[in-house]
């Protein structure tokens, strides 16, 4: 056996085998490094994209207020929404505020709604309240995905339908008389 090793050493057999083995190990090592580099690049690319571009859906308070206002108008027993000072001024100049009587606090996943209404005489305020809560929560939730966690309703006035119509007609007549007088000047 010693003679064969000596022969192989002189003939360079072991050296050729050794070089072949080293080249193969180097090739395997290069492939492993390349594969690791590709995996690291892909991981970094994925992480950067996920961190840099976080998608988000948000809503202005006025959007939620408008949805809630329309939902309130759909409930029997609600004659109208009772607006504040600025809503009254807006209506005197021919405008109609769709968010009149509604205020909303909107977070990323939840919303709280406050409503001021004119209740029609003869309707049960607690029943109208329950219907308002249900309709507002359903409308806002369906359209936005937000959870309505609180609905507060304030009854600012009670009127018969007839009384309400007369008041609306008088208000419109006063507004049109004001506009006519203004245009004559």
Domain span at residue 165?
A: 61-87+98-172
The Cα 132–Cα 68 span in angstroms is 9
Helix (H) / strand (E) element for 112: namely: strand 110-120
Q: Check residue 49 and give its pLDDT.
A: 52
The half-sphere exposure of 179 on its side-chain side, counting CA atoms within 13 A, is 10
The half-sphere exposure of 59 on its side-chain side, counting CA atoms within 13 A, is 22
Give domain status of residue 41, yes or no. Answer: no
Give domain status of residue 74, yes or no. Answer: yes
Give me the torsion for CA of 9, 11, 15, 16, rounded to 10°.
Answer: -150
Give domain status of residue 26, yes or no. Answer: no
Give domain status of residue 106, yes or no. Answer: yes
Neighbours of 141 (CB within 10 A): 14
- Beta strands 102-106 and 147-159 are unpaired
Give domain status of residue 149, yes or no. Answer: yes
The Cα 107–Cα 80 span in angstroms is 27
Q: Check residue 70 and give its pLDDT.
A: 95
Q: Check residue 100 and give its pLDDT.
A: 87
The CATH number of the domain holding residue 142 is 3.30.70.1350
Q: How high is the mean pLDDT in each 10-residue block of the chain (185 residues)?
A: 68 70 85 82 62 83 95 95 56 62 94 96 97 97 96 96 89 60 49
The SS3 of residue 176 is helix
- Tally of domains in the chain: 1
For residue 124, report the phi and psi dihedrals to the nearest 5 degrees: -80, 115
Give domain status of residue 69, yes or no. Answer: yes
The Cα 12–Cα 18 span in angstroms is 10
Give domain status of residue 19, yes or no. Answer: no
Give domain status of residue 184, yes or no. Answer: no
Q: Check residue 86 and give its pLDDT.
A: 43
The pTM score is: 0.61
Q: Check residue 34 and give its pLDDT.
A: 82
> Under a CB-based contact definition with an 8 Å cutoff, are residues 151 and 136 in contact?
yes
In a 10 Å sphere around its CB, with 0-12 CB exposed, 13-18 middle and 19+ buried, how is residue 83 labelled?
A: buried
| Angle in degrees, CA 128, 147, 59, rounded to 5 | 105
């Amino acid at each position: 056996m010693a003679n064969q090793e000596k022969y192989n050493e002189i003939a360079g057999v072991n050296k050729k085998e050794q070089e072949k083995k080293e080249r193969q190990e180097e090739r395997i090592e290069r492939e492993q490094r390349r594969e690791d580099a590709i995996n690291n690049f892909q991981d970094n690319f994925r992480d950067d994209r996920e961190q840099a571009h976080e998608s988000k859906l948000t809503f202005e308070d006025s959007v939620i207020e408008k949805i809630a206002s329309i939902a309130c108008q759909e409930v029997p027993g609600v004659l109208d929404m009772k607006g504040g000072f600025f809503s009254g001024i807006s209506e005197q100049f021919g405008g109609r505020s769709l968010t009149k009587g509604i205020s909303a606090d909107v977070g990323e996943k939840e919303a709280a709604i406050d409503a001021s209404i004119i209740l029609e005489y003869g309707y049960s305020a607690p029943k109208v309240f329950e219907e308002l809560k249900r309709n507002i929560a359903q409308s806002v939730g369906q359209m936005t995905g937000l959870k309505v966690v609180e609905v507060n309703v304030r009854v600012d006035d009670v009127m018969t339908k007839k009384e309400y119509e007369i008041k609306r007609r008088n208000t419109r007549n006063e507004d049109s008389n004001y506009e006519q007088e203004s245009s004559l000047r």
